[in-house]
Structure 1
Amino acid sequence: AVPIAAKHAKLNVKDIEYHEINEAFSVVALVNMHLMNLDHSRVNVNGGAVALGHPIGMSGARIVGTLIHVLEQNDATIGAASICNGGGGAGALILERL
């Protein structure tokens, strides 16, 4: 979902400075880091859902809120939040900090 969202934002995945990838399972972030060749130090930098929690019904809100804080903490501009769903799909959004 991240490459598609990046394309819609007229960006390349490499333009994204930080990623929040929801971990419904620990392997989700690891597979996405491998598939998109992401710098591990820029993914779930404050810990993912395994460390911070997986709040039922608001996991998407948690990762977006965390991403906003990560962008502010690191004086960064572009971030991506992504989450998988139980049906095999996924969603992503690109944030630009102004």
Structure 2
Amino acid sequence: MTTSVIVAGARTPVGKLMGSLKDFSGSDLGAVAIKGALEKAGVEASQVDYVIMGQVLTAGAGQMPARQSAVGAGIPWDVPSLTINKMCLSGIDAIALADQLIRAGEFEVVVAGGQESMSQAPHLLPKSREGYKYGNVTALDHLAYDGLHDVFTDQPMGALTEQRNDQDKFTRAEQDEFAAQSHQK
């Protein structure tokens, strides 16, 4: 069986909600990271066999955000791509799938990662296709509803995190230390 190796990595640009990156789509940010990783690895865009990108907030992003990122990074149009939505695990699942595809001998060079633009998450009008005859309309925030709200417990993810921290006895200081170490990797 073939083995796989991560030859380079690059982070998408990180900013604040509605900050300096608000006009960049998740695909725009993904293209920057892909291009940077390819340059670090010394791999030509034409050598890429497959692209897998995780993205949770895809409403309004257009078809195939992973393909948009790939093409934006100079990867040829005919290279297949896949967008994964598995919430916070989307990017790591993209990397795990890339490993599986390489080890199975399907592809040799696979670009994998995650991308997101919370600032560009739209507001949604459920049932608007049916039309509204009278009265107020309630909009859903795509960021909150599809990105940060647990559908099974009807709670925000932050509240669930606090509950779990109490259950597992994680302090805020321990969380902050873990997060700081994670960003250094």
Into which bin does the TM-score normalised by the smaller protein fall?
0.5 to 0.7
SS in 1 for 2:68: helix
Q: 1:75 to 1:31 in 2, by over 3 A?
A: closer
- Larger % of strand: which? 1
* Identity percentage of aligned residues: 10
When the two chains are superposed, the root-mean-square deviation of aligned CA atoms in Å is: 2.5
Q: How many Å apart are 1:31 and its aligned residue?
A: 2.0
Counterpart CA distance in 2 for 1:19 and 1:30 is 7
Aligned partner of 1:5 in structure 2 is 37
> Is the 1:33–1:40 Cα contact (8 Å) retained in structure 2?
no
Q: Which runs of 5+ in 2 are unaligned?
A: 1-32, 120-185
- Radius of gyration: which is bigger? 2
* Larger RCO, structure (CA 8 Å, separation 6 or more): 1
Runs of 4+ off more than 6 Å: none
Paired amino acid for 2:97: T
Q: TM-score, normalised by structure 1?
A: 0.62
1:80 aligns with 2:118: no
Counterpart CA distance in 2 for 1:30 and 1:77 is 18
State which drifts further: 68-77 or 6-15.
68-77
Instruction: Give 2:49's match in structure 1, choosing from 9, 13, 17.
Output: 17
Aligned residues: 81
Aligned partner of 1:64 in structure 2 is 95
Instruction: Give 1:43's match in structure 2, choosing from 81, 88, 107.
Output: 81
1:25-76, Cα deviation, whole Å (9 max, x unpaired): 14522422442343445212xxx32xxxx22321121111111122233443
Q: Which runs of 5+ in 1 are unaligned?
A: 89-98
Q: TM-score, normalised by structure 2?
A: 0.37
> Is the 1:19–1:43 Cα contact (8 Å) retained in structure 2?
yes
SS in 1 for 2:111: strand
